[in-house]
Amino acid sequence: MITAYHIIASENIDFPVDLTMDFSKGMPEMEQAERFKYFNSHSKGIKWYTGENEHILYEEGQNIHGLITPDFKKFVAVYQYNHPEFNSPSNVVIYNEDKTIHMRVPLVCPVSAKNIESNSAFEGLYIGGVVWKRNQLGEIIMALNLIFNREYVETRVFDYITGEIGACIGTYRL
């Protein structure tokens, strides 16, 4: 089981994240100066602990984001769309708690993108983030933010066990 989670960045920036918080309401608050340093860092990564074992996903010059799964047994990492190994359209990797790869998520172009009018809309498709959401029963689920042409976002239900990307549960324009 994952016992601790941190967001990290260049210049030794390391913020522990409270695992008891409800991630469906967003990421933790940071002091304004810390937030400025983190978001302006050249490189970002993540780390988690399983007991005393530390697992780090960090590469100089890259931005790697992610989130633990609601059962605390896996970690979903989202790599930059142009990452040399884990690039779009399969820029999401699900890791087991010991940092072995459970699955590289294949992004299949969704058939419904009601907010997109262009025929070339799917050419710029990539996964931009992972979030926790609450379903209609109030249960915590995971969702992926699919970004189209750096203009539109669809938030879709995500099954981190099978890698299946499901129904659209929200849309917005960047």
The reported pLDDT for the residue numbered 25 is: 56
Mean pLDDT, 10 residues at a time, over the chain (174 residues)?
Answer: 92 83 60 76 93 95 94 95 87 96 80 46 74 90 88 91 91 87
Cα(134)–Cα(55) distance, integer angstroms: 28
The reported pLDDT for the residue numbered 158 is: 95
Neighbours of 121 (CB within 10 A): 16
Which residue shows structure tokens 């967001």? Answer: 7
Q: What is this structure's pTM? A: 0.85
The reported pLDDT for the residue numbered 115 is: 43
The reported pLDDT for the residue numbered 22 is: 64
Instruction: Name which of 74, 165, 77, 162 is nearest 128 in CA terms.
Output: 77
* Structure token digits, residue 39: 């978001």
The reported pLDDT for the residue numbered 68 is: 94
Cα(70)–Cα(54) distance, integer angstroms: 19
The reported pLDDT for the residue numbered 11 is: 86
* Structure token digits, residue 64: 């790697």
The reported pLDDT for the residue numbered 94 is: 97
The reported pLDDT for the residue numbered 99 is: 97
HSE at residue 142, side-chain half, CA atoms within 13 A, is 23
Going by C-beta distance under 8 Å and a sequence separation of 6 or more, which residues neighbour residue 109? 89, 122, 125
